């Protein structure tokens, strides 16, 4: 799984706007500013989501948009700049499935190499419902619980790995 090239890689300095050159640093070819010395370090995006179960079934949402439109995934989204990932997981649960949740711990961390928008890291938290009412939110076509034996087509390798870990954990 080779992630796409860094979509944020700049051609001009983020500090002084001069055109950037390149320099090898730690085995990585990095954009560097000859004028002011600024070095660009590429970053993986961070996503966070929830593993919400009911008996032996897991809550999934169906993607409204590309990439992987109409496929299903755990309720999850990108961590905003400066936002903590646990706050993201709680926020995404409310936005995508209408549920207030309490996180019960980190279930797993997964590399995202098959998102055409960016490479990333997905943090998945166990969660319990504390309020709200199940409904499909803004980015979701549908939200429903599935048994492990009857999972729909899952978007993203990271989500498939998280579901496999949940299945094999016996919870």
Q: Which two tokens stand for residue 150?
A: 């009857």
33 is an interface residue for Zn ion by CB under 5 A: yes
Could you tell me if residue 101 is left (phi over 0), alpha (psi between -120 and 50 degrees) or otherwise beta? beta
Q: How far is the CB of 33 from Zn ion (least distance, A)?
A: 3
Is position 97 an interface residue for Zn ion (rule: CB under 5 A)?
Answer: no
DSSP code per residue over 58-100: EEEEEESSSSSTT-EE-SEEEPPTT--HHHHHHHHHHHHH-EE
146 lies in the site for Zn ion, by CB under 5 A: no
The verdict on 36 binding Zn ion (CB under 5 A) reads yes
Distance from C-alpha of 121 to C-alpha of 167, rounded to nearest angstrom: 21
Question: What's the full length of the chain, in residues?
Answer: 171
20 vs 79 by CB, closer to Zn ion? 20
Among 9, 12, 35, 66, binds Zn ion (CB under 5 A): 35
- Judged by CB under 5 A, the residue of 4, 16, 87, 147 near Zn ion is 16
Site residues (vs Zn ion, CB under 5 A): 13, 15-16, 18, 33, 35-36, 38
């Amino acid at each position: 799984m080779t992630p796409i090239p860094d979509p944020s890689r700049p051609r001009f300095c983020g500090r002084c706007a001069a055109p950037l050159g390149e320099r090898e640093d730690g085995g990585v070819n990095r954009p560097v500013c000859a004028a002011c010395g600024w070095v660009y370090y590429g970053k993986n995006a961070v996503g966070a989501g929830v593993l919400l179960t009911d008996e032996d079934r897991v809550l999934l949402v169906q993607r409204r948009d590309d990439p992987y439109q109409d496929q299903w995934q755990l309720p999850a989204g990108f961590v905003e700049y400066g936002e903590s990932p646990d706050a993201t997981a709680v926020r995404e649960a409310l936005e995508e499935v209408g549920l207030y949740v309490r996180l019960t711990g980190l279930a797993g961390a997964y590399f995202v190499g098959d998102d055409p928008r960016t490479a990333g890291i997905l943090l998945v938290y166990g969660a319990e419902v504390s309020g709200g009412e199940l409904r499909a939110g803004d980015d979701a076509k549908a939200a429903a619980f599935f048994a492990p034996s009857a999972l729909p087509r899952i978007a993203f390798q990271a989500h498939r790995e998280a579901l496999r870990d949940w299945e094999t954990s016996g919870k």
